[in-house]
Structure 1
């Protein structure tokens, strides 16, 4: 059996560190995709929900959120493709992934408990989205995401205190500040 080297040269150490940094940076930049995808899905669904609720007699304006189903499919396919292509999955990648999976399950609980919480679903989703965005920003050390996550905590109480019909409109604004602006900055950021 071949014996492993006990010590790395400084050049080998530097090369390994450089590759690890580039891998982590590539993974972080790829995360902008998810914020952009879900940001636009959420803004479109929120504005459509608000419009249908406020200006039409459509009995189920919340049904526009079904556009999230293709979003989940795209997310799963993109995640699978990225996981297949990635040689290295970092601890940070796993932490972020499980944070957002927890977010998904939390949303399902809130939706199915809707009548028990007086259908105040939107503010609770904003609260969880803020927490997950904030945590993601902390993990990748990206200040615009930290600020974006924090912005949800400004909009959440507004959504609780205004009449419920305005919640989707407030959510659309919160998504712009919490997801879209940080995602476009992240996409262009030279890490």
Structure 2
């Protein structure tokens, strides 16, 4: 007894169309994270720079506490997306592991206390790698270009030094996260 049935060309086309639509929906859902983190990191970098340059506040790094609600929002969104997703593709799992690797690496860089003024450069390198790889998995050229741009901004950040690496990093996330994120959302 044969378990599979022969599909008509019309049924096959419907299945393929459904799979493509599902994959496009999963890809568009990725834009949320790029947009959220693009805005949070741009605001954090510019706020940190402004507090150092234009205020007497002695703990300008406190601006980065804005990442706490962003982490919560990001995790809740990801949880809801996975719960509501009818189909999880191989690329969805691969992208999840890419960004978990980024997160673990970023936490080590930030909290180790060993990297000091090179933290922005290292974060740009990690973001570049993760964004580039995500773009390759999704075959989405704006993310590939955005990821590559992070590497260029990392070199610039290294050259300009720690203070001016903050606005350079803000510009990097605008080019590397926000522009591709908006293009991804509208894809």
TM-score range, shorter chain: over 0.9
Structure 1 window deviating more from structure 2 (85-94 vs 2-11): it is: 2-11
1:132 maps onto 2:130 in alignment: yes
* 3-state SS of paired residue (2:30): helix
* Superposition TM-score, scaled by structure 1 size: 0.93
Query: Deviation digits for residues 124-144 of structure 1, max 9, x if unmatched?
Result: 111100111111111111111
What secondary structure sits across from 1:120 in the alignment?
A: helix
Partner of 2:63: 64
Cα deviation 1:133-173 (Å, max 9, x = unaligned): 11111111111111011100111011112121111111000
Deviations 1:13-59 (A, max 9, x none): 22221111111100001111110000000111110000011222222
Please give the secondary structure, in 1, of the residue aligned with 2:86. Answer: coil
CA distance in 1, matches of 2:111, 2:43: 22
Task: State the Cα distance separating 1:3 from its structure 2 match.
Answer: 5.8
Pairing of 1:2-151 with structure 2 (within 5 A):
4-114=3-113, 116-151=114-149
User: CA–CA distance in 1 between the matches of 2:134 and 2:69?
Assistant: 24
5+ unaligned residues in a row in structure 2: which ranges?
none
Q: Determine helix, strand or coil for the equivalent of 1:119.
A: helix
1: CA distance, partners of 2:79 / 2:112:
31
Distance in 2 between the 1:11 and 1:150 partners?
41
Structure 2-normalised TM-score?
Answer: 0.95
| CA drift at 1:6 | 4.4
Distance 1:34 1:117 in 2: 26
1:164 and 2:162 aligned: yes
Give the superposed CA RMSD: 1.4
Distance 1:133 1:55 in 2: 32
